[in-house]
Amino acid sequence: MSKKYVMGNGAIALGALSAGVNLISGYPGTPSSEIIETASKFPHQGTYLEWSVNEKAAMEVAAAAAYCGARAMVTMKQVGLNVASDPLMSLAYVGVKGGMVVVSADDPGPISSQTEQDTRRFAEFARIPVFDPSSPEEAFEMVQDAFDYSEKYKTPVILRPTTRVDHAYASIEAPDSFKAGEYEGFVKDSKKWVIFPRLSYNNHLMIEKRNIEIGRDFSSYRFNTVSGSSDKAVIATGVSFAYAAEFLKEHPQVRFIKVGTPYPLPEDFLIGALDGVSEVLCLEELSPFIEESLLKLIGKHRLNIKVRGKLTGDVPSGGENDTDSAGRIIGSFLGLDSESKGLDLSSAPTPPARPPVLCAGCPHRASFYAVKKAMKGKKAYFCGDIGCYTLGNAMPLDMVDTCLCMGAGITMAQGFNHMDSDATAISFTGDSTFFASGITGVVNAVYNAADMIVCILDNSTTAMTGHQPHPGTGRNLMSAPVDKISIEKILLAIGVKRVVTVDPLDLDAAVNAVRECAELSGVKAIIFKSPCVAIVKSDKKMAVSDKCIGCLRCIKEIGCPALSVTDGKAVIDENLCTGCGLCSKLCPVGAIGGV
C-alpha cells in the first residue's frame, strides 16, 4: 500500500483494480478518458483492458464479461451513454452475474461536451442504481461499493462522476500492484441470457420490487450523510456537496445532507434526515433530479416542507456550480453573509477572448484550407464532426457549417445532398470518429446513391481526448503491434467511387484532389493523411523575412496561433511554429521561409 496522487479518474481506476476487476472497456471522451489510461499504467495481473471502437461495443464487451461472472467496468462520457443506451436498456432487464459498473462522466458547464444531460436521469430511465461521488476519494470507495451492490442485486450499476471530480487530484491510499479476481465462467441458460418479451415482462416486475429494496438498502449507505440540526436544510449531491461544504464549514449548525445514491432514492434516510425541517435547498448540477425526487417524496408522505432549487429559480438551471455561487445561494437561503472581500477589480482591463483553436501546425488547418480554396465561389455545405477538427469552425477558416454528434457529419452531408443537389455536400470526419460511427454513414450514402465528398482527417490518433490508439493505429492496450485497419480499403470495399489519399501540407495536391472529386458523381472520399503535431514533433521552424509587405494574408486566411502582427507585419512565434509551411504557401511575396 502507498499513497498515490491521482486524478479522480485515476481514483476510479484504482478502485476498480482494488475490487479485482477482470475487464475494463470504454471509448475516450472528456472527462472520462483517463480512467482506462490510468488502469493501464498500474501493475496489474489478469485484467483485460481495451479501447473499444465505440461505447456500444464497449458496453457489450463488458456485458459478456459480467455474464461470465467476471467483474467488468465500462467507461465513457455522458453522450457516449447515448450511443451505449441500446445495450444498456436491455442489459438492465437481463441483469448480470459478475459485478458490472458503468462509468458515465457528466460535464456540467458544459466544458467539453455537446449537452448538459444528466446521467442520473438515465439511471432512473433504465431502472438501475447510480452512485454520485463528491470527490476523488469518495469515487475510489464508491466504485468498489458499486461492484458489491451490482453483484448483490444482479444488476449493472452506474457510477456518475462529473468533470470536477474526474479532473481533481487527491492522494489515494491503494495497493501497489493488483490481481484480478477469479470467476466461474459463462453458464449457458437461454431463459436467463436471451432477451425475449416474456423475460422482459417478468424481470420488469422483479426490477420495480427490487428497486424499493435497494432504496431501503441505500438508506444506510455510508455516503448518504446528514449533519447539523437547523430547520432549514441544504441537500447537495456530487461535487456541489464539496462547494457547499466550503461555505458550511463555518456554519456547522446548519442541517447539511449529502445524497451519494440519487437512484433508487434512499427514502427512509431522507425522511429521517428531513425530520423537523421546514425548508430545504437542493444544490445540484445539470437537472433538478434530487429536487424533483424530493417533491415526489414530500407529496407521497404529505410532509410540510418547502423545496427550493432549480425549479424555484434559486439555483441556475444550466451551467456548473462553484464555491462562490454555492456560497451566495446558500447564504441568501439562510440569510447569512456570504460576501468574500477581495481586491478592488474596478477598471481592470478586459482580457482578450481566447476561443480554443487548432494547434499551430495542425494538419487539419491545411485540410480545411485546401477544401476552402478548391470550393471558393461554389455552393457547398461543410458538415463537421466531433474531435479537434470541430475547431475548423473558427474564423478565419469558417469551414464547419454543422456539428451534431459522433458520425453525423457524413450522414448529414448526405441529407443536404438530397435536399439541395446543386450544392456540393462535404463531410469532415476524423480517423477515430470514422471507426467509431462513420462507416455506417458511408454505407448509407453509397447505398442511397448520394453525391458527396467524404473527407477523412487522418492524423493517426484520437487527438482531442489525449491521443488514444484506435483500430487504424496498429496499437491497442493489450498487445502491440496489431494489424492496422485500413480506412482506404474500407471505403473501397463499401463501393466509394474514388478514394484519394493526400498529404494536406502538400497544398497544391490537396486542392487538386478536392477539385477532382467535386467533378465526379457518386460518393467520393479524400483521406487527408498527416500525423498530429502533438505526437510527431518537428524541429522545423518558419520565419518572416524583411520582404513582408504587411498584407497579413497569412493571418487573415489560416488563423494559425503562431502568427501575429507586430508593427503592421506578420511575426511567427518560434516557440509555437512547427514549420508546417502552410503560411509560406500563401505569402504573395515569398517572405516566409524555413530557418
| Binding residues vs other proteins (CB under 8 A) | 3, 5, 7, 30-31, 111-112, 135, 164-165, 167-171, 239, 241-243, 245-246, 249, 322-324, 327, 340-345, 347-349, 351-359, 388, 391, 394-396, 464, 552, 555-556, 559-561, 563-565, 575-576
Q: How many CB atoms lie within 10 A of CB 359?
A: 20
Class of residue 339 by CB neighbours under 10 A (exposed 0-12, middle 13-18, buried 19+): exposed
| Residues 571, 562: Cα–Cα separation, whole Å | 8
| Residues 538, 536: Cα–Cα separation, whole Å | 6
Closest approach, Cβ 136 to other proteins, in A, equals 8
Which residues, 6+ apart, have CB-to-CB distance to 188 below 8 Å? none
Residue 86: phi and psi, rounded to 5, are -60, -55
CB 470 within 8 A of CB 330: no
Q: Which is nearer to other proteins, 171 or 545 (CB)?
A: 171
Closest approach, Cβ 397 to other proteins, in A, equals 10
Closest approach, Cβ 30 to other proteins, in A, equals 4
To 10 degrees, what angle do helices 439-447 and 408-419 make?
A: 20
Q: What is the DSSP annotation of 57-82?
A: HHHHHHHHHHHTT--EEEEEEHHHHH
Closest approach, Cβ 157 to other proteins, in A, equals 25
Class of residue 46 by CB neighbours under 10 A (exposed 0-12, middle 13-18, buried 19+): middle
| Residues 559, 273: Cα–Cα separation, whole Å | 56
Q: How many CB atoms lie within 10 A of CB 552?
A: 14
Q: What is the CA radius of gyration of the chain?
A: 27
Q: Which is nearer to other proteins, 234 or 491 (CB)?
A: 234
Closest approach, Cβ 564 to other proteins, in A, equals 4
Q: Which is nearer to other proteins, 319 or 396 (CB)?
A: 396
Q: Which is nearer to other proteins, 531 or 561 (CB)?
A: 561
Q: Which is nearer to other proteins, 75 or 135 (CB)?
A: 135
3-class secondary structure, 104? strand
To 10 degrees, what angle do helices 85-94 and 197-218 make?
A: 80
Q: Which is nearer to other proteins, 181 or 561 (CB)?
A: 561
Q: Which is nearer to other proteins, 293 or 429 (CB)?
A: 429
Closest approach, Cβ 150 to other proteins, in A, equals 27
Closest approach, Cβ 535 to other proteins, in A, equals 14
Give the chain's length: 595
Closest approach, Cβ 42 to other proteins, in A, equals 18
Q: Which is nearer to other proteins, 62 or 168 (CB)?
A: 168
